[in-house]
Structure formats: C-alpha cells, structure tokens
Structure 1
Amino acid sequence: MICKDTFKRLLFIAFLFVSTTLAAQNTIVTGVVTDAATKKPLSFVAVSFTGSTIGANTKDDGSFSLRSAQPYTQLKVTYLGYKEATVAVTPGKEQVINVRLFPSAQQINEVTIQAKKRTKYTNKDNPAVELIRQVIANKEKNRPEAYNYVEYKEYDKMLFSFSNVSEKLPEKKFFRKYKFMFENKDSTSYPGKSLLPIYLVEKLQQTYYRKTPEANKVVVLGEKSVNLGPAVDNEGLGQYFQHLYPKVDIYANSSYLLGRQFLSPIADAAPSYYKFFITDTITLANNQKLIQLSFTPRNTNDILFEGDIYITLDGNYAVQKAGLTINKNINVNFVRMMHVDLDFELNPDGRYHLSRSNTYADFGITAKRKSGLFGVRTVTYGNYIVNKMQPDVLYQPDINLEDDAVKHRSEEFWQQNRLDTLTKAESRTYHNIDSLTHMPSFRRTADLVTLFLAGYKGFGKFEVGPASTFYSFNPIEGFRLRVGGRTTVDFSKRWFFEGYAAYGFKDERWKYSVGGTYSFNAKSVYKFPQHFIKASFQRDTKIPGQELQFIQEDNVLLSFKRGTNDKYLYNDQYKIDYIHELENHLSFTFGGRKWVQTPAGSLFPFQNGPSTMFSDLTTTEVSAGIRYAPGEQFYQGKLFRIPIINQYPIFSLDYTQGVKGALGGQYNYQNLRGRIDKRFYIAPFGFSDISAEGGRIFGQVPYPLLNIHRANQTFAYVIDSYNLMNFLEFVSDKYASINIDQHFGGFFFNKIPLFKRLKWRETASFKALYGGLSEKNNPAYSSSVYQFPTDVNGKPITYALDRTPYMEASVGVENIFKFVRVDFVKRLSYLDHPDIAPYGVRVKIKFDF
C-alpha cells in the first residue's frame, strides 16, 4: 500500500513531468459591446487600444478580449452606422468594460422601408477576400527564402508553470518542506494568473540560409535548462515540448500545433475555409498604413484559427502583425486556450521579417477550474542580415555538432547575448529546481513515478523491469514469471548490459537473455545519434508472425488472445549488431545471427512428409540495412526512445543473406525488404498515416524462413498488423502491402452535439496485402520444403496468398475517456478459411491531445 504522503508526492512530481505554455501580458480588457437602444449584442465591432495596432473584433455574442504589455489608457470602439466610442482604461490591470454604442444621427427627408433578407456572406465582390488573395499572391516574395542569402540570431525561451495554485497548499504538512518553491510566484506577467515556474529552457543559435545551392546551416551558440533530476530525461522532455509547440510560419499553408495541422489564414485555400472582414485602417508613426483584417472559420468546428492580421498597403501585401487563436470549439484535450502572436519588423529594403513569435496556452483537466498548467514559447529574432554572401565552407554541415561547451555557458554570456529578458521568477527557476532535485524525499518520489510510468525501478547503476512482464501466461509455458534489468549511464556511458530470466511452469523450461553494448560516442545507446555495437544471446518462445512495436511480447495484457493460440517456436538466437546513425538522420546497420528454431505446440514437429521429421531448423545470416528519416524526432527517456510521428517520410531497405554451412546454417537464400512511411496532413480533415511495404525472397527455404505476415490475435488494435488474421495464416516469398490509417480529428463528430461534448473523434483504416509463393517454396509442389502446419483434423492452417489480396477495413472512435480507441474491424477476403474471425472489436490505449 502507498501511504498518503507518498501518494501526494506522486501527484506533485507527476505534475512536474507535464507540459504547458504561458503568455506575458500586463493589461487585459474584456467586455461586451451592445446597441444602446435595443440592448442587443453587436458582432464584428472593431475594438482597439487607442494609438496602437492591437485590436480585435467582437464575437457573435458581442464579447471581446484585448491584452497588451504597453500602458495604454484608452479603448477605441468603432462600428459602421454607430458613433465612435472612447473609453478610459487602467494600465496594468485586468478589467471588464462593457460598451454601449449609439447610432449615428443623420438628417434625412424621407425613409422607405422594405423587407429584405439578411445578406449572406460570400467571397464574390468581397473587398476583404480580394485583399487576402493579394496577400496569397505575394507570399513567396515576403518569405525569407525569397532572398539569396539570409542570416540572423534566434533566441528561443520555453517556460512552463503551475497556475493558480491554492494559497493553502504550501501550508499543508507534506508541502511545507517545498515551501521555497511556492514563494517564487509571478502574478504580474499575466493578470488573473498566479504562475509557479517549474521548467525553463533557453537556446541561442545563429542561422545561415543560402538559396542556390540551397543550404540552411544552424549553429547552436548556447543552451541552458533546468535539471529535473536523474529520473527525468531533460533533453527528451524539451524535444517533446518543442514538438507540441513548434514555430508557427504564417506564410506556410499550414502550421503544426498540439499534434494537429492548422490551416493558415493566408493559405492558398484559405478563402474556402475562412470568412474575412476589413475592420480598420491604421496609420503607424512612420505614416505607413495597415489594413486590419479579421477572420473566423466558416465552420467553427474545423481545425482552424480565428483572429486578426495586419496587412501593409505598400504594394507588398506583407503581414506586419498577426494574432492567431485556436478556435475553442475544436476537439483538443485539456486545452482551455491557445494563442499565437507574430510580430514583423521592417527591413531597410522595405520588406518585413519575423521579429518575435509568442505561443502560449492554458491547460487544465476541466474548463471550470482555474488551476492547471500554463506555458509559453517565445522566439525572438535579431541581427537580421540579407543578401550578404558568406564563404561556401560556412554552409557545410559540421562533422560533430555536439559541443558540451554550449551547454555550460556562463551567466555573463547569457546576460550579454539574450535577445529577451528573464523575469525575476524565471531567473529563480534554475536555483529552485536544483534545490528541489537534491532533496531525498523528492528523489524517492521520482523513483516511484518512474516505476509507475516507465515500469522500471532504479538502483543507481542498475534498474529492474519492465514491471509489465513480471507475470504472463500462454498455452505452451502456462504460468510464466520473469525478472530482468539493465545498467544505466551511472554505471558507464560506453558499456551497457541487460538481461532477464523467465520460467514457464507448464513446459518447465528456463528462458533467458543476456546482452552487452559498447557505445562509440560515449552516449546512451538510446539517444540520437546512435553509434554502437551489441552482442546478445536469447533463448525464449515466440509466436511466428507476431510483431510488436515498443511492447514486450510477454506483457501480461497480451496473454489474452482470441481463437486457437498454440503455434509457438523455441528460439535460440546468437546476434551481433552494429548501428550507426548520422546527424542528417541517415543510418546504417550491419549484423550477423545464428538462429535455431525448435517447434512447439501444434507446430511440432517440422516434417517434409509423413515420415521425414526435423527437431529443429538452424540458419546463419548476415544482414545490412539503410534507413533515412529526415526531420525525425523522438521522445527520449534515459533508457528508451519513441519516435514522434511528423510530416516527414521514413525510408528503409534491408537485405539478409542466409549462409549454408556456416555455423551449422542449412540454407542459402536472400531476403530483400523495403518500406516507406509517411503522415499526410489534410487540413481540416485531420491526418492520414500511410505505409507501403514490399519484399522478395530468393532461394528455396522452409516456411519458418518465408515472410510470415504480421497477424494479431489479441484484443488490442495493432496499427502495423492485420487484426483479423490468424497467426501463421499467410506466408509468401514475394509481397506488397499498403496500410492507411485515417484520423479525422472530430471533423464529422464535432457537428453532432453529443459527440462534440464527449470530444470523440472518428477514425477509419484500410489494409491490403498482395503476394504469392513460388512452386519451389510451396510444399504442394515441392517435397524439399517443410509441409505447412495443419490442425488436429489434418486441415491446413497456413496458406499462400493467391491472386486475391488479403484485405481488412475498420471504422472507429478514439479519444474515449481521452485515451481509448475502439475499432470495429471487418475482414474483406479469404472468408472461407477455418477458425477465422470475419469481424471484431479491438481496443487501443493511447494518450493524445
């Protein structure tokens, strides 16, 4: 049992592992604009701080919200047909100001009143749409890439804070020892929010861009971040946060935020999805005029922004300023609000460049509670130089980009080179978190959190786990117990060892694995870029054709399977592998393996005919592979890493050569496989994950060495497997497949009130596998290969694909309870095979925004 204090510690530390975002503003004005006579709200009224470019339109209910760090003292409210109103504002405070507008008095002689339908919004002859089309037409020349050469410095600051923490919390017994943390509150940067900083990371870098031949060189000048202790991979945490809050490029057709692709208000197709309104003409101090253009989604349930952009009238139609708010009606978990501010500065040549980007959000379990998590990512650009040619060598990639010196810059360096300033609370964050992580109680609690979340219990130089594999069961081994562990970077940064031992109480056999790895770059073997050599031996059971990503096969939840599950192999594998990843995400692998397969269950024994039987199959292989994943990102822990799927493709090609006579190998053969994975964002229709794969085996081999296609008989929905195919049902020596997994992100459900309230999202998938088996590898034509397995009645359970592809499709609902996906899966071909499931319901657990 976990004691009450320990449970509180778990909650406290768990909070520290969650991300959020924040904005720093001083003056907030909210209110409602109404007609003075009718008391009805007025929509699309222009509200702005007098003498500024900061403004907004009222919404359908007449409400508005403005914020600024400048000490403005007046609010200007204008609307066609009404008198302009000017209202006093108190700088530096949050206030509510409701405004009543009076109709303009006009002298008229005669009025004719006719009934007329309300004018419908249309793009035709709409000056706002004509203006946005000019902006779209001029996008390319207003991007930095329009110049032959561009260079600038970039200062990136990311801060995460608890918001509105109860004043009573630090007085409670458990939290008294952490009272110093609660004293570092910031109540002025964002009125209405009391912020408690917990995570801060800064990065300063220099960018050099060349148009022809195209090159983009980024030199990191300095990095600094809080250290949350050995239980947390601080670098991996920062990468995950940056994945949630990437830089927003308004000139791109779409921007990626919170795992979604938002269509830009100046995208090529923007007039089809947004409504545009000219709300004001503003004259700057240099007498330059801007048009304030407001926009709102045509359908407020689509993944779109709303807000304002300010367009120059100098013939360039450039964006001078933008305020983008995520539409609150879209289906995003835990996000109360998210906003992006973009500011552009004038170049000497009359063009504009981005000078500051500020992205902030407010997170919480529910919309009603004020407490939660808050954070901000502010990117400031300076020292902007265009069309200055640099030597060619400057644009060449460095051989080794990693330099520990950039992560240990002096405080004097940061004071001189920051393009922005730290608040008092931000500055104290480094010291406070350092003090926190050195407290024994915090370390103990962090250890428990690591056990619950990652499945490992640390003991300094060694850790035990994963906990999910301690117990499992299957028809061959019966009740199975397992214990294992691995060394950590505290043991060595070059040598890593891992292993486990397991025992099956039904087959009364021990299974085990031992392995050692040497890292050539003295980094964790789980961190990018990997460069290591590994040797291992494993003796264990395996189901032919079951392939799982990031999950152990003896995970207790996978012990539950449908249908007949008695096709097993005992495997002895002696392996040596060399892996080398390059900074450009190109990687190479080389390996060797001796593999002994012994049949078990209904696969016993291997046989060529009724009288020729084999107790095992031995092969010796050498292999090579190449993989290219440009732009790939990872969520990296200290002893694991999981790819974060983004818009970039992944290419892989693998070759395996079987060597007869070497180390007892019985067959010569070649196996070639290729695969492409790509996520396609189709704003506002969500995204689609598509993978295409193909392979060919050259040579004569028995069925255990053929392509045994990935089947799944568990009740979990496995993206990369065929969820209604039986284990070992299909084999081939040549095949091609395609897998499409579409996530609509609530595009349809958001239009149904109940589903919208539940935040359910719709999915659909389609999988097709086409292949064949040559006569020399088909036991129906050749007596030189093993006979296919049969059931107890002698009926075949393994088949070669014929001219009809194997196909299955599904429709599903995800985000149930915010982390459950349920799919109804239908098998579309080979329905005459025995003991198959023509349809089924499968479940997948995944946390997502």
Structure 2
Amino acid sequence: MKLALPFAFFIFISFSAFSQTFTVSGKITDEQNKPVPFTSIYIKNTTRGTSANSEGEYGLLLKPGTYEVQYKAVGYKQQSRKVELTKNQAIDIVLQTETYQLNDVVVKSGGEDPAYAIVRKAIKARKGHLNEVDAYTCEVYIKGLQKLLAAPKRFLGFDVQKATREMGLDSNRRGIVYLSESESKYSFKRPDNVHEELISSKVSGSNQAFSYNRASDIQVNFYENIQNWGGLSLRPLVSPIADNAMFYYNYKYIGFTTENGETVDKIKVIPKRGYDACFQGYIYILEDSWRLYGLDLFITKKQNINFVDTLRVSEQFFPVSKQAWMPSSVKFEFTGGLLGFKIGGYFISVYKDYDLNPTLNKKEFKEVMRVTKGSNKKDSTYWANERPVPLTDEEKMDYEKKAILAKKRESKPYLDSLDKVNNKFSLLDLTYKNYRHANRYEHEYYNLDAILPSIKFNTVQGFNLNYGASFSKLIDSTSNKYLTVGARAGYGFSNKKFTGSIYAGIPAGEYNLGLSAGSEIVDLNYYTPMSPLINTVYSLFERQNYEKLYQKQYLSASASRRITGGWMASGYVEWAERKALTNSSNYSFFSPGNHNYTSNNPFSPNLDVPMFADNQSFKIGLRTTYDFSDKYETYPTGRRYLPSKYPTIGLSYTKGIKSLFGSDVDYDLLTADVSKSNINAGVLGQTSFFIGAGKFLNNNSLFYPDYKQFQGNQVLFSHTGINSFLLLNYYTNSTYTKYIEGHIEQNFSGFFLNKIPLIRKLKLQEILDINYLSTPALKNYTELGIGIQYLNFRLMYGKSYNSGSNTNSAVRIGVSF
C-alpha cells in the first residue's frame, strides 16, 4: 500500500505528459521578408500537417516528442527543422526561392524542348497514378474567404452603401462578405464513391448556418483527362497531362532541382491557342515515377470562365506510402469584377491522417454527405485547438464583429423591426408589385398579388382579372416544411363571368398532400404552352388569339411521396364539370395586316362553335418515376436525394371512370418516358434527351381535354424544356389513340464559337435540337433547330418537316430560369 500512492502518482504524471500538447508556430517569409502564404507544413514520414495562412503565419499542435518538420511551397526550396518538443516553440522560417538547373542537354535549332519527353512519360504514367489508390479516408480542413474589394454606392436604384454597412463592411463598401471554416471526414472508393461527414462548421455572421465548404467540391484530380468545374466554365478544362494534351499545350523546360533525394522537373505549360479551355502556369514532375509533385496553374477570361476574371489553382502532394502520393493541400484563388463591383478571395483545403487501407462498407456510400445537427455549434475553444490554419487579424476581427451582428439579427426585437419596415402597405405599390407581410420570428407569411399584372386579355373573357392571395407557415423546422393555403378570384369583363378557387398544400409525414376546388377558365392544352401574358400581347397588338380556353368547375386531391431512393410516386383524383366556351370580345389595340381573330375552336377557326359538348368527368391519375439513384445527402432538415448519372424512367396511367358522380368519360391512357438532362459529352458540351410513348387502351368516351397533349409553339417566344417543340401547333395534333415523341438537344458549350475572335467574348453556347412526333394522324413530324444561348436566353431557328415537302420554318426566342 505504501508503494501504491507513488506508483499511482507516477502513472498520473506520465498520462498527463502523454496527453499534453504543445504548439510549433511562427511565420514563413521569403528572402525579401515578404510572407509566403499557404505554405504546407507537415511532419516527415507522416500525413499530419497544416498550412500557413495568407500572411504566412502557421501553428501546428503536437504531443511531446521529437519531430522533423518540413516546410514546402511551390517555387521555393523545401526546408526542414528538427524539433525536440517539450514546450511551445516559435520557429520562423525563411524560404529561399528555388533555383532550377538545366540539364546538359543541347537543343538544336528547330529541335524539341526536353519538356516534351518528360510530359510524354507523365502522360503514359497518368492512368497508373489515377488508379493506384483504390480507397482512402482522410480528414479535411477547409477555409473559404470572399471579399468585396470595391462597389458603387448605388446600383440600379439599390442602396449598396446601406446593404454593405448592415453586412459589417467598412464605409468604402470593402471587407469580408463570406468567411467560413469546416472540418470533414472524407472517404473515397473507386470508381466514384464518396462519403463526407461535416464534423464542424463555422460561418462568420451566422449562428445557425452551415458552411458551404465541401471537400468534394474543392477536390481536383489532374490525372483525370478533363476537369469539369460546373458553372465556372462552360467547357471542361483539359489537364496538362491528359492523353490528348499535346494537341492543346506547348511545354517549356525550366530546369530541375533535388528534394528529399528525388529529382523534380519544373515545366511551363502554355496553351497552343489562347482561347482553348486550357491552363497556364507550371507543373512539377518527379523523375522515375513521372508523377505530379505539385502544380501552380491558372485560367483567365480568355478561357470564357464565368463569375471571375482569374482563377488560380495550386496543389501540393506528399508521400503517404512508398507507392502513393496524395494531396497535402489544394488552394483556389480568384479575382473578378463587373459593373463597378470587384471581388477576390480564396478557398484552401488541408488534408491529414490518410488511411489507404480503410475498412469501408459499400452501403455507406449511399449517403454522399452528412451534416450533423451540432456541427455548427462548436465554441471558440474548440476552434482554437482544432484550426490548422491560423486566422489573420482581419479574419479574427470579422468573426468578433459579426458575432455581435448575428446575435442581434436572430433576436425577436430585430426581426420585428425588420418586419415593421418591410411590411409597410401601399395601395399604389400594390398596383404594380406583389405585397408580402412577414412575421419572421413566427415564420408566417401573407402574400397579395400585384393588381396590374393580374389583368390579362383573351377573346373568351375580354379583359379579365385573376387575382390571388396566399398564406404560408413553417410547421416543421427540422424538415423545413410549410403549410400553404391560397385563393384566387377572377372576373371576365366581356363574358361577365366570375371564377374562383381555393387550394392548400399540406405536408403530412412522408407525404405532400394537395387539395383544390373551384371554378376556373383554363387552357385546352393542359401544358399551358402559351402564357396568358404573351397571348395578351399578341391579341391586343397583333390581333392574333392563339390561346384557346374552356371552363372547369372541379374538386381535386393529390398526394406524392418518395417510396425509396430514386423511386417517386404521385397520384390524384379529380371530379370536374367542363364547358366549351366561345369568343365574347373582338377588341384589339391594332389590326396589322388585316389580321382577324380565330374562333375559340382550333379545329374550326372560322366558325365559333363549341368544341365539345358539356360533360362531367371523374378520373384518377397515377405516376411513378425511377432514376436508378439511391444516393443522398443528410442535413438537419432531412435528406436530399441526388440525381443519377443514368436516365430517369417514368410511367403514367390515367383512368376516366364513367357513371361515378355523373361522369361521362370512359378511357384508359398508359404512357411511358425516359429522359436525362446535361449528360457530359466532354469537350463537345452536354447532351439532353426525352423519349415518350403512349396509347389509349380504351377510348370509349372522352372529350378534347382528355386527349394526350403536346408542348407546341406557334409564336416568337417559346418554351425551352427538353420535351418542347419549336413549331408544333398548340392544339390540332393532340391525339386520343397513340403516339411516340422524341427530343434530343446538344449544347456544344462554345466549342465552335469560341474559336472566332470577338464573338468568343460573348460566351455563347451553340444549340442543336431535333424533335420528333408521330401519331396516326400526323405520321412523321420532325423539327431541326439550331441556335445560340447566352446565360438563360436562347435564340433558335427551327425548320419542320412532315409528309415530304410540307415544311415550315421560324425564329424562336426562349427564356428559362
């Protein structure tokens, strides 16, 4: 017993020493005493490390012991320091600019630069390095920062000065607009299985938000032939060591250096054509293994990138095993400007604790992303201990200042004060813009439509008002589900008819329920291919009434839910009393070219007779879709399922039931479709398609509103959906028998126009459309469309073919949001 106390004390002291940690910190500069930002710092022969911040400051938390700390930055000589760590130590490092020696190679006039031989070997080894790691796990720290560098005081009537002041920026409208940090556990298994768990998240200025930082978003792999960077670049970017890189790049040998006993070659990469989707800058290649040692590349506006003017990517690698090197850090820096606004910033990711032989369950990759509920609640002590990249003084100040603002913004008095200002009601304002009355604290919202936009014209009702109001309330904060109820009231000033309807959207567990009832005047084509606003313009200014309408008094209910994974199902039931209508107004502002209105019967344009007899219908509809995807992201608000790389298959069935509730209809329609949007076609852009077919298994009794309709177009302004036609008549090709339709669209994403000087600056995308429809009456109807797209605006020229020489052509303008 006498020995027990000293022994226990010894164990306690030993455990305390073992569990204690110390910090190696300092600043990294170059020979001119300028900071070397984002230098990689890691412990030799381990995958534990960190990165310096934008001012060259670093901090590395370690247990007591002896370490060899290595400091590495692209373009500088690597340095090492042996550290006996028994207390906190400050170690400042001066990195020398790397000098690259030239081999004793004589390049004859007109001869090939030595870089080409090295790059060929790297290209040959590319696929091996791409596949050398079958699976791995690691931890990833990401910091993202975006700054407003300049901004006008006002922009299009918007008070920028006031908005930036409320965001915590300075009086010159400059400062940090986004600052966030996150830590993730990242798992990968070939070929493309990813699982990421966000374990901590911090967003400056918000106590509730989760970081937008995602390890999967910032990952790049230049062993892949092309880099698909989403909305940043319309075209995929070609890697400097892609299989076909020699077609896109010139190379220049800068020289070699030796690090850790291995030869590193520095090679300058230069696009052969300045406007190809290629990088500029430097790559560093290890001889013998011919793998990437590091890279420092950039793209500019010449590559037609979006949102920014210049984007630089730097990546450094370190050996995780004798056979495999993995990224130690990846950094994106960007600058840009538009209309007086200038922005800049960076995202940096730091990787540590790689495991190249993890035990992974294939099922866990169904969940691509997990954001746990408490990951955004870590306190300052946690971040002080876990943050691998030190904050700069500016970043510390931003966190402190915006923490006060965040607390204020979430308080009831502040939210009520916002509502008091924004809820001011003005009848004059309501004439041209919607009104919204908000109770932000209770998550309740009342909406009133603007009056003037609610007034339209058609030849059935004349000028008409269709006015709406709605109410919504958050009823499930964990899944962000709202209860919505609303009503619409209408009146035709020419036909003297009132209309009105009510509706409700009700979340109920896994289901979304819908209820509606009322009397409405609706389009004969249930796709509503022509908007009432466009029809108003054509009617009043061109005296052309393309929209054809009928009256429906109805009761309906619907339900939808996800069955499992990518399997969705929905259904509805509807009773309706339907009446054909005739024109009641012949009014227009102008009558160019002696245009005359046609009747409301598209099959009898010169005779205004009812299109069908008054009838009642009772029908049920079922639809199910499956997209072959069971992958999803999990958030505190619930799951979000991800689209599959495979097409989506859909199956629909509609049954008209006779005699039930006085119904006059008796038919069965079965349809099937398969579709996929934005299929990656490499340098040729993206492909989308839709194929559909259907048949009335029974058509004993049905009326025109029960026909299978199609998304036609007859005017300048068109729909841009993948299952839309450019020139098809809105109504006359509907069918009550069978049909098959097909659509394919190729977006070349600037592949051709980017090669033309001046035009390339417009960032235009070339569009090719082919549309097909066959019914027993129509036979083989085909459309060919070519055009260009800028942002969400599209200009197309289409030509249709049917029955040999029967052709039609027109220009179409489309807008999508």
- TM-score between the two structures when normalised by the length of structure 1: 0.68
Distance 1:504 1:201, change over 3 A: farther
Please state if 1:514 is matched with 2:502: yes
TM-aligned CA deviation for residue 573 of structure 1: 4.3
Q: Using the TM superposition, give the Cα deviation of residue 475 of structure 1 relative to its aligned residue in structure 2, in angstroms.
A: 2.3
Counterpart in 1 of 2:277?
303
Matched with 1:618 is 617
Task: Kindly indicate whether the alpha-carbon contact (under 8 Å) linking 2:314 and 2:330 is maintained by their aligned counterparts in 1.
Answer: yes
Q: From 135, 143, 154, give the equivalent of 2:125.
A: 135
The partner residue of 1:274 within 241, 244, 249 is 249
CA–CA distance in 2 between the matches of 1:247 and 1:471? 51
Match of 1:744 among 742, 748, 754: 748
Post-superposition shift, 1:574?
2.9
Closer, same or farther: CA 511–281 of 1 in aligned 2, 3 Å: farther
Quote the Cα distance in structure 1 between the aligned partners of 2:375 and 2:536.
45
- After the TM superposition, which residues 579-598 of structure 1 pair with which residues of structure 2 at under 5 Å, given as runs? 579-581=560-562, 584-598=565-579
Alpha-carbon distance between aligned partners in 1 of 2:321 and 2:769, rounded to the nearest angstrom: 54
SS across alignment from 1:730 = coil
Identify which of 801, 810, 813 aligns with 2:788.
813
User: 2:555 pairs with 558, 574, 577, which one?
Assistant: 574
Contact 1:736 / 1:770 at 8 angstroms: preserved in 2? yes
Q: 1:478 aligns with which of 426, 440, 462?
A: 462
Q: Percent identity?
A: 17
Which of 719, 726, 731 in structure 2 is aligned with 1:723? 726
Q: Distance in 2 between the 1:402 and 1:823 partners?
A: 43
Q: Does 1:251 align with 2:223?
A: yes
The aligned runs of 1:67-146 (5 Å cut-off) are: 72=95, 74=97, 76=99, 119=110, 126-142=116-132, 144=133, 146=134
Instruction: Measure how far apart 1:569 and its partner are.
Output: 2.4
Matched letter for residue 713 of structure 2: N
Q: In the superposition, relative to structure 1, how do residues 617 and 181 fare at CA in structure 2: closer, same or farther (>3 Å)?
A: same
Give the whole-Å Cα distance in 2 for the aligned partners of 1:442 and 1:580.
36
Residue matched to 1:462:
445
Partner residue in 2 for 1:536: 516
Following superposition, the deviation at residue 568 of structure 1 comes to: 1.7
Deviation at 1:578, TM superposition (A): 2.2
Structure 2 residue identity aligned to 1:363: G
Letter in 1 for 2:716: F
Asked whether the 8 Å contact 1:159–1:199 carries over to 2, the reply is yes
Deviation for aligned residue 1:401: 5.9
Change (3 A) 1:703 1:683: same
Whole-angstrom CA distance in 1 between matches of 2:432 and 2:145? 24
The equivalent residue for 2:770 is 767
User: Is 2:801 the partner of 1:801?
Assistant: no
Is 1:222–2:206 an aligned residue pair? no
1:395 aligns with 364
| Contact in 2 for aligned 1:649/1:679 (Cα 8 Å) | no
- Structure 1 distance, partners of 2:277, 2:763, is 15
Q: Distance in 2 between matches of 1:120 and 1:478?
A: 80
Name the SS of the counterpart of 2:620 in structure 1: strand
**Structure 2 SS opposite 1:181:** coil
What letter is aligned with 2:245?
A
Q: 2:319 corresponds to which residue? A: 346
**Given the alignment, which residue of 382, 395, 403 partners 2:352?**
382
Give 1:734's match in structure 2, choosing from 735, 738, 741: 738
Give yes or no for the alignment of 1:364 onto 2:340: no
- The residue that corresponds to 2:165 in the other structure is 178
Give, in whole Å, the separation in 2 of the partners of 1:244 and 1:384: 16
Give how far 1:425 is off. Answer: 3.6
- The secondary structure found in structure 2 opposite 1:276 is strand
Give the direction of change, closer, same or farther, for the CA distance of 1:595–1:167 in structure 2 (3 Å limit).
closer
Deviation of the 1:724 alpha carbon:
1.4
1:669 counterpart letter in structure 2: D
Q: 1:831/1:541 Cα in 2 relative to 1: closer, same or farther (>3 Å)?
A: farther
Q: What secondary structure, in the 3-state scheme, does the structure 1 residue paired with 2:240 have?
A: coil
2:305 aligns with 332
Q: Distance in 2 between matches of 1:623 and 1:534?
A: 14
CA contact 1:712–1:726 (8 Å) conserved in 2: yes
Letter in 1 for 2:810: G
How far is 1:404 from its partner? 2.8
Q: Does the residue aligned with 1:707 lie in a helix, a strand or coil?
A: coil
Amino acid at match of 2:229: L
Give the aligned CA root-mean-square deviation in angstroms: 4.9
The letter for the 1-side match of 2:357 is N
Give yes or no for contact 1:606–1:615 (8 Å, CA) kept in 2: no
Q: Is the 8 A contact 1:358 1:379 kept in 2?
A: yes
Does the CA-based 8 Å contact 2:785-2:796 persist in structure 1? yes
Offset of residue 646 of structure 1: 9.8
Letter of the structure 2 residue corresponding to residue 131 of structure 1: K
Q: CA deviation at 1:51?
A: 1.7
- Show the counterpart of 2:10: none
Counterpart in the other structure of 1:85: none
* Higher CA-based Rg: 2
Report the AA paired with residue 283 of structure 1.
Answer: T
Equivalence for 2:175: 196
CA pair 446-381 structure 1, distance change in 2 beyond 3 A: farther
1:491 offset after TM fit, Å? 6.6
Residue 690 (structure 1) shift: 2.8
Q: How many residues align?
A: 679
Change beyond 3 A, Cα 1:129–1:671: same
What is aligned with 1:496?
484
Report the equivalent of 2:3. none
Q: Who is 1:655 aligned against?
A: 653
Q: Please give the alpha-carbon distance, in whole angstroms, between the structure 2 residues aligned to 1:262 and 1:70.
A: 36
1:347, distance to aligned residue in structure 2 (A): 0.5
SS of 1:827 mapped into structure 2: strand
Q: For residues 605 and 324 of structure 1, do their structure 2 counterparts lie closer, same or farther at Cα, with a shift above 3 Å needed?
A: closer
Contact kept? 1:253, 1:266, Cα under 8 Å: yes
Contact 1:487 1:497 in 2 (8 A): yes
Residue number in structure 2 paired with 1:51: 77
Kept in 2, the 8 Å contact 1:303–1:683? The answer is no
CA distance in 1, matches of 2:537, 2:626: 33
Query: Which residue number in structure 2 is paired with residue 90 of structure 1?
Result: none
The SS at the match of 2:241 is coil
In 2 relative to 1, CA 740–302 (structure 1 residues): closer, same or farther, beyond 3 Å? Answer: farther
**Are residues 1:547 and 2:520 paired?**
no
After superposition, give the CA deviation of every residue in 1:300-335 in whole Å (9 maximum; x if it has no partner): 2222223322223353x3323223312431223442
CA contact (8 A) 1:679 1:687 kept: yes
TM-score (norm 2): 0.70
Which residue matches 1:712? 713
Determine if the alignment matches structure 1 residue 843 to structure 2 residue 813.
yes
Alignment pair present for 1:207 and 2:186 = yes
Partner deviation per Cα, 1:122-143 (whole Å, 9 max, x = no partner): 99x941442232232323333x
Change (3 A) 1:674 1:685: closer
* Aligned AA (2:581): A
Does structure 1 residue 373 correspond to structure 2 residue 348?
no
Query: Would the alpha carbon gap of residues 350 and 400 (structure 1) be closer, same or farther in structure 2, given more than 3 Å must change?
Result: closer
The letter for the 2-side match of 1:842 is R
Distance 1:220 1:77, change over 3 A: closer
Distance 1:511 1:729 in 2: 27
Which of 764-773 and 438-447 deviates more?
438-447
**For residues 389-447 of structure 1, what are the alpha-carbon distances to aligned partners after superposition, in whole Å with 9 as ceiling and x for unaligned?**
25x59837579967533343444444444454444444534426526846678778888
List per-residue Cα deviations over 1:24-71 (Å, max 9, x = no partner).
7459xxxxxxxxxxxxxxxxxxx9845259xxxxxxxxxxxxxxx985
Shift of 1:352: 1.2
User: Judging changes above 3 Å, is the alpha-carbon distance between structure 1 residues 679 and 132 closer, same or farther for their aligned structure 2 residues?
Assistant: same
1:669 Cα deviation from its structure 2 partner: 0.7
Q: Write the letter of the residue equivalent to 1:620.
A: K
